[in-house]
Structure formats: structure tokens, C-alpha cells
Structure 1
């Protein structure tokens, strides 16, 4: 297949590298410097070096058409990317983002091609512009937002060493991941702890459970099942630093708007714990910006 991958972050590099072993992959990187470095050195993942065609984000027209587009940018970078995609894409588009804000505006649009949303369960850290560390092997799950193409695509892309799985219910799929993110990401960033410490201290665990309840209620999902899933993920990733924790440490923007912000926007009743972590992360981000100036 011809696949255009948009985004040179950890998930974009991981996706381009894994799919590039078999398929014809073109990667749209953020900068010309990144695209040139990948062109010279290839994509590095573990001991593997995968060669993929790479272009900077200014060269949309040079990408050409593909059988599928896979968008791996952060939520806050998505709106301008989507405006360009509407002009260029003529085939299925897959969105691999944390949070769910994109589902709101995508459902308001009209397309001639399928829109697929995905949930990435892998752990990945970008080491440099051409190297990604695969910190946790899991799966990518895909579901149809519009159209009826996700299962066909899964059958074309799935490989045992890079599983891509089909899900019937996009709301349940994305909602389940969002609830875990709404609990783990802000709390670990605020308390500056690894994921596992949220269950090692009764006070942290109590706050985590209430955050889970608020998010589950807002999304209309069953609280007990979601709390069991959150606990499972915390145990499975207990030694990890969450992406939001790393973002705060590095002085980067976080995805709090598309995670806790989505819960706040869709809640039918007060969500005081979610409000607290939402505004806390906004405050920490501003504080870190001043520190880095």
C-alpha cells in the first residue's frame, strides 16, 4: 500500500518505521532539517534502520496521493493539518490522537472518503529527529468514525509484530483511553511521580478513582469497568513517566484541552476534580514557560 504518515513525533516515527518495512511509506516531517536527517540516516528503531521517503511539512503537494493517510500529530496541531488534508486527501484518513476533541469537529464535516479514528496503546519516546525508542509493545486499534473501511484497512495492515486491531464502537474505544489519560496524565504531572505511585498511596488512589468516575459519567461509560481498566494500565505502566509529565518537565504544551477539557465540555454535571487538574496543568504549563524564558 501507499501510505502517507503525517507527523515526526514519537508515534509518527514509530508508525512510519513499522509500516515502512512492508509498505510504501512517505513521512511528512515537521521541519526540513528533520526530513533531511531521516533521508540521510533512515528511521532508527532498536537495531533496525528503515528507509522511508521523507518530506518537510511545507511540501504537501509533493506527497502525492496515497491509499491511506495516517495523521499522528498532537491534538493542538491538528486544525491546520486538517485544513490542508481537506485540500489534498482523496482516500481514507486515519487519526491517531490522544483525547477526543477531533471527533467533535470531524463529525460536523462532509467527506467523500472514510474517516477512521484510532487508539495507540504502544509506548514510544522520540530520542532524536530520526530515532524512536519502542518502550511498550501493544497494539493500535481502529474504528470507523464515518464510512465502513476500518476493518478492511486492519486486514491490510495488521502484522503479528505490529498488531492493528478492529473495533466496532469508536466512542467506547476512544472513551476508554481518554478516561485512563484523564486520570493518569494530569495526576502524575501535578505530583511529579511515575504512573505506579498513583496506586501506592491511598490519597493519590482516592483522587484517581474520583477522576475516573467524573470522566466515565461525562462519557456515559460504566464506572466500575473503567476504574478496573485504569488500574490495569497503571500497573502495566507503573515504571513509566506519563506523556503529560514529560511534557511539563520539558516545558512543552500538553494535551490537557483534548483530555480533561473534553470531559469538562461533555459533562452534564459538576466535575470539580477534573476542573482542579485541568486548571492545575494550565498553571504548571505557564509556570514552566516563565522558567524557560
Structure 2
């Protein structure tokens, strides 16, 4: 049995795909109120993908259910991950495993620190999914997932090896940190600009101008310190072109009045730069501007 913590877009996407493949899974929602909302819909999810519309019946429960958990997929936002996992710690089997699907960095390490009896894995995910209405999910863009252990040398868990790449386009990689850092840097270069200019991804270069170039140069220096040697600028511009019409998750959170993951993306990068003694004035200016934008919308800045 696989347990999915979090009933947001990504958690529901995993649940839907596992259900379609007849792989047993249960979705852990935050509280009894969320559970009741799903029960009022008969636990049905309307799942829209490029093959059509599907009505799926999922299994939901709350954290206080007594069932023990061996395999946990954490699909919450980064800022919610540690507390959500802590609520389940009494249910986690020793020597079990936890797969983290969060954006940014910091939440994975925090969960690993809190759950020393379990193996913690992290994924870089590029699937696009959104919920047009309660009980409905659209898989807007089929992406890929790169999965690996936080502790280099830990083997791929058996349950993950059994997941067909037709179910999810995924691959195993160790070490995983270079991939996570690469994705973090790309998000740092795009998402905060979409926030402060309230624009789609494709509009970032015109809106940010030379400021984007300065941020890319500073992010490249930080990546080099982390052992990632690829040229960042072409990667970022490729992502901007391929997702030109997309609204970043950070901008979506702003419009929905939700707490963003700024502290686990740009905030984390700036803190890491400071620890290395690296001066990043363009990134710090971007972080300050993003926080000002959040304050204006009465949203948390962390």
C-alpha cells in the first residue's frame, strides 16, 4: 500500500495514475473537514488528461487513522511538509521510506532530520497539473521525474522500481542533489519575476531585462560552488520558451491568496550563498521585491 500525503494537484495526480494502474494507494488529507468534503463527493475525482475525462474513486483518510505506513509519498507544499510528516511519525514503520516531491530545497533535509529511522528520497518533478474545481484535476502537461536518495549510495526502493515508466516518466539518479539544485536555480530565475510583474513565464525576459542576466550570473556562481557545472542561462531560456504561456506556481499561489514557496526557492538560494560568502546583490534585490509584493497582498513572506 502506498500512502500519499497531501491532496493538492500533485498528490491527486499521483493518486489518479496509481489508481488507473490498479496500484493500491490512500490519500491522507489534512483534517476531518477535508475528508468530509471528499466523502460528500463520494470520494470521486474527475481526472482530465490527454486521453479524455475519467471518473475515479479514491481512498482518503486523516492523519489520525491507525494504519501503519511503510511507503509514504509527500506531496504537500514545501512549507507544510515537515509539520505534516510529524503528524504521521507515530505511523511510520522503521526502515520504511519517504519520497519527497517538493519544489525548492530545505524541506527534504528537514524531514530527513526528523525521520532518521526512515530512508528519505527526493524527486524533481516537471508534470503540470491543476484543479479547475473541487473534485476535478487536469493533467495539463506531461513532464518527467528524476528520483534519488538524499544519502548517496542508498538503493532504489523496490516499490518504486515496480512503477512502469508508462505510469510516470521517471528515472533513478544518484546523486540527486545536482538535479535539485539545477531545478532550484531555474525556479529562482523565473518564478519570483512572474510574482512581482504578475506575468506569464514567457514575459519574464522583457519585464526583467538586465536584472535577469545579473541573477543568472549569480545563480551560475552558486551552482558552481555546489558542483553543478552546466551553463544555466540556456537552460532557463529554454524553459521560458517551452512554458511561455504558463503561470508559475508562485504566481498561481499569489492569485489564490495562498502562502508561496519563496523561502524554499529564492530564500534558500540566498541563504546558501551567504554561507559560502558569495555576494548576490541581484538575487537579494529580487527576494526583497518578492517579499514586498507578498506584503502588499497580505501574504506570508516566508
- Output the TM-score relative to the length of structure 2: 0.86
Residue matched to 1:3: 2
Q: What is the aligned residue count?
A: 284
Instruction: Give, in angstroms, the shift of residue 159 of structure 1.
Output: 3.2
What's the counterpart of residue 17 of structure 1? Answer: 16
Q: How far apart, CA to CA, are the structure 1 residues paired with 2:31 and 2:112?
A: 30
Cα distance in 2 for residues equivalent to 1:208 and 1:221: 22
Cα deviation code 1:114-134 (max 9, x no counterpart): 110111110111223321111
Any idea what SS the aligned residue of 1:182 has?
Answer: helix
Decide whether the 8 Å contact of 2:124 with 2:145 is kept in 1: yes
Match in the other structure for 1:118: 123
Alpha-carbon distance in structure 1 between the residues aligned to 2:117 and 2:213: 42
Deviation at 1:285, TM superposition (A): 1.4
Superposed CA RMSD? 2.2
Aligned-residue offset at 1:155: 1.9
2:211 match = 207
Residue number among 68, 73, 84 corresponding to 2:76 in the alignment: 73
In the alignment, which residue of structure 2 is the partner of 1:141?
146
For structure 1, the 5+ residue unaligned runs are none
Q: Where do 1:1-293 residues align within 5 Å? A: 2-21=1-20, 22-39=22-39, 40-46=42-48, 47-56=53-62, 59-62=63-66, 64-90=67-93, 91-106=96-111, 108-109=113-114, 111-146=116-151, 148-150=154-156, 152-199=158-205, 201=206, 204-219=208-223, 220-222=226-228, 225-267=231-273, 268=276, 269-289=278-298
How many Å separate the matches in 1 of 2:109 and 2:2?
Answer: 25
Aligned equivalents of 2:82, 2:117: Cα separation in 1: 19
Distance in 2 (CA, whole Å) between partners of 1:224 and 1:54 is: 42
- When residues 169 and 209 of structure 1 are mapped into structure 2, their CA distance, relative to the original with a 3 A threshold, is farther
Which of the pair is proportionally richer in helix? 1
Cα separation, partners in 2 of 1:118 and 1:191, compared to 1, 3 Å: same
SS where residue 4 of structure 1 aligns? strand
- 8 Å Cα contact 2:70/2:92 also seen in 1: no
Q: 1:60 to 1:38 in 2, by over 3 A?
A: same
Mean Cα deviation higher: 112-121 or 149-158: 149-158
Local SS of the residue matching 2:3: strand
Alpha-carbon shift at residue 152 of structure 1 (Å)? 3.7
Q: CA 1:13–1:33 in 2, change beyond 3 Å: closer, same or farther?
A: same
Q: Which runs of 5+ in 2 are unaligned?
A: none
Q: Distance in 2 between matches of 1:120 and 1:111?
A: 24
Distance 1:190 1:42, change over 3 A: same
Shift of 1:206: 3.0
1:114–1:149: 8 Å Cα contact kept in structure 2?
A: no
